[in-house]
Chain A
Amino acid sequence: MNNLPLALRDSSTLLRRNLLHARRYPSLTLNLLLTPVMLLLLFVYIFGDAMSGGTGRTAYIAYIVPGILLMTVGSTTIGAAVSVSTDMSEGITARFRTMAIHRGSILIGHVVGSVLRSVLSVVLVGAVAVAIGFRSADATVLEWLASCGLVALFALALTWIAVGMGLVSPNAEAASNNAMPLILLPLLSSAFVPLDSMPGWFQPIARYQPFTPGIETLRGLLLGTEIGHNGWIAIAWCVGLTALGYFWSTSTFDRDTS
């Protein structure tokens, strides 16, 4: 068997294993959705009136949902860090490594599984958003497709970073802690308040990180606000993080085990 069919076959076998975990233990994924859903409800129903500056609840829901959706992506990829780390510490990865399988498929199974779970999670959280009154402002089919593409690309980028974090963590708890920035970064972005309402010294921190351009782009696609350069910047972040995470993960994975 030459390389490509082998890679496809082994990757799909290990993807099925990953999805079987998710199906057997949905709570592992659902727990990761609690934070974004809670923040959505908290900001809309508790802080909403103060945060919106009098523009009204519906307008504020519309404002924060794109941020909540990308935060959902960040949150679910923590699951990838945890499961990669668990596999490493429990010896099943060592078993896979001693088998004549396509080596890359071990990580590919985790990555594809995590991206699928992220997209599904975004759909679930999106449904909650719609239930409490979120409506897209006349997004075209093309804009919906672009939104899905952006979410998937974001999930791919953050998953590769999470996989790297999982590989360098000694156990599942450490992996979960190390991956915390993936859910904290959106809090420091334009998810909840616009950049220009933040103190001047803080604005660069919020501006030069992946979530802000991603959120601005998604907001533009779903609500028709100005996207500007944010679209390209978001894609550049995704490509850059994917490449970084990929090389970090694969080089860590291929390193001699001690």
Chain B
Amino acid sequence: MSTSAIAANGLRKSYGDQVVLDGIDLAVPEGTVFSLLGPNGAGKTTAVKILSTLTSADAGDIRIGGHDPAADPRAVRAAIGVTGQFSAVDGLITGEENMRLMADLHHLSRREGRRVAAELLERFGLVEAAKKPAAGYSGGMRRRLDIAMTLVGNPRIIFLDEPTTGLDPRSRHSMWGVIRELVAGGVTVFLTTQYLEEADQLADRIAVLDNGTIAAEGSAEELKRLVPGGHVRLRFTDPNTYRSAATALPGATRDDEALTLQIPGDGTQRELHSLLGALHSAGVEADELTVHTPDLDDVFFALTEGGTIPGRPEEALR
């Protein structure tokens, strides 16, 4: 077990009467991606603010890269890079000037600063836009510049607070590529997101934050195992075919209005084979067949407050 890049025990924070974080524990091993997943207002941003020295915790023991943010914030700041929810770029100056500003604040020499800036602008596809004011950049370009600025000091621990919120699919995928590259380089990434797919794609470990507490934690696979609900769905257009199929498959859940059948199962080849065999012997053909495996959406809805799994029997909520 490698050492923890980020560790927090009993982290608490309230604003007035409102409890935002109610004693959460986190441990992120070096060189891994940890995703804090939760709906809006769950306390994700507050957690990032505390871990990145922007806000103090009311209680809790925190170590970032081995340093305590309350006792030695500068040591923590020297180890981390932060990209907040809203792009923290200076819109009045150009992309290149933003990069050089970061280089100067990291006390790089002029030459070194110029080299690092050029390298990162190149890596993030911002060379053409480098001489233009950042205010004119698209959302995706601003985020890329934002991350590039965060990387100037070569931080070993990076906090990304909803890095893809508001990005189009192409920009989102390119951001995922960036995050994977970082991790390949040994960087520890603390990622908050409200997109389950993003956590599923990127994170080694995921914690579901709801109402200030960690509702569940584990790898994406472990979390999915918490919630049953895999099934095959068959849709028909002809009511007669639908009825024959329903007779041939007694274990199916019927939806007579929509003419669909749901057959519980985990979507393995063997199960599909026997299902198709049963349909074949009954001489019916479905108009559409879809395999639904439990995904993080199911976990999310099951674990976060007030969530019910749509179209799912109650026992799934156990």
Residues of A in contact with B (beta carbons under 8 Å apart)? 1, 9-10, 13-14, 16-17, 20-21, 24-25, 90-92, 94-101, 256-258
Contacts and interface: CB of A to CB of B under 8 A. Distances in A.
A14 B53 CA distance: 21
Given A20-B97, A100-B74, A256-B55, A94 B107 contact: no
Interface stretch (B82-90, B172-180, B268-276): B82-90
B104 A98 contact: no
B184 interface: no
A1 B107 contact: yes
- Which are the 9 A-B pairs with shortest beta-carbon distances? A91-B88, A95-B88, A100-B77, A100-B78, A13-B104, A98-B82, A91-B86, A98-B52, A100-B74
Contacts of A14: 105
Nearest to B56: A256
B153 interface: yes
B101 A99 contact: no
- Looking at A13, A24, A99, the one whose CB has the most chain B CB atoms below 10 A away is A99
B141 to A, nearest CB: 16
B93 interface: yes
Contacts of A97: 53-54
B82 to A, nearest CB: 4
A87 to B, nearest CB: 8
B54 A98 contact: yes
B91 interface: yes
A180 to B, nearest CB: 23
A4 to B, nearest CB: 14
Contacts of B52: 98
Given A98-B77, A98-B82, A100-B75, 20 more contacts: A17-B93, A17-B101, A20-B93, A20-B97, A21-B92, A21-B93, A24-B93, A24-B133, A90-B91, A91-B88, A94-B54, A94-B82, A94-B84, A94-B88, A98-B53, A100-B74, A100-B77, A101-B105, A256-B55, A257-B55
A10 B105 contact: yes
A25 B53 CA distance: 33
Nearest to B107: A9
Contacts of B74: 100
Contacts of A17: 90, 93, 101
B54 A13 contact: no
- Looking at A25, A90, A98, A258, the one whose CB has the most chain B CB atoms below 10 A away is A98
Contact of B15 (A13, A95, A101, A258): A258
Interface in B138-164: 149, 153
Q: What interface size band does chain B fall in?
A: 20 to 34
A24 B133 CA distance: 10
B92 A24 contact: yes
B105 A257 contact: no
Contacts of B84: 91, 94-95
B77 A13 contact: no
B120 to A, nearest CB: 15
A98 B106 CA distance: 12
A87 B86 CA distance: 12
A97 B105 CA distance: 11
A77 B92 CA distance: 19
B49 interface: yes
Given A95-B84, A98-B82, A99-B105, A257 B49 contact: yes
B87 A91 contact: yes
Interface string B80-123: 11101011111111000100010011110000000000000000
A25 B90 CA distance: 13
Contacts of B105: 10, 13-14, 96, 99, 101
A94 B56 CA distance: 14
Contacts of B86: 90-91
A92 B87 CA distance: 8
9 contacts: A16-B104, A90-B90, A94-B88, A95-B82, A95-B84, A95-B88, A97-B54, A98-B80, A98-B81
A92 B89 contact: yes
A75 B215 CA distance: 54
Contacts of B91: 90
- Looking at B53, B54, B105, the one whose CB has the most chain A CB atoms below 10 A away is B105
B190 to A, nearest CB: 13
Contacts of A100: 74-75, 77-78
A235 B29 CA distance: 58
A20 B54 CA distance: 27
B174 to A, nearest CB: 21
Contacts of A13: 101, 104-105
Contacts of B104: 13, 16
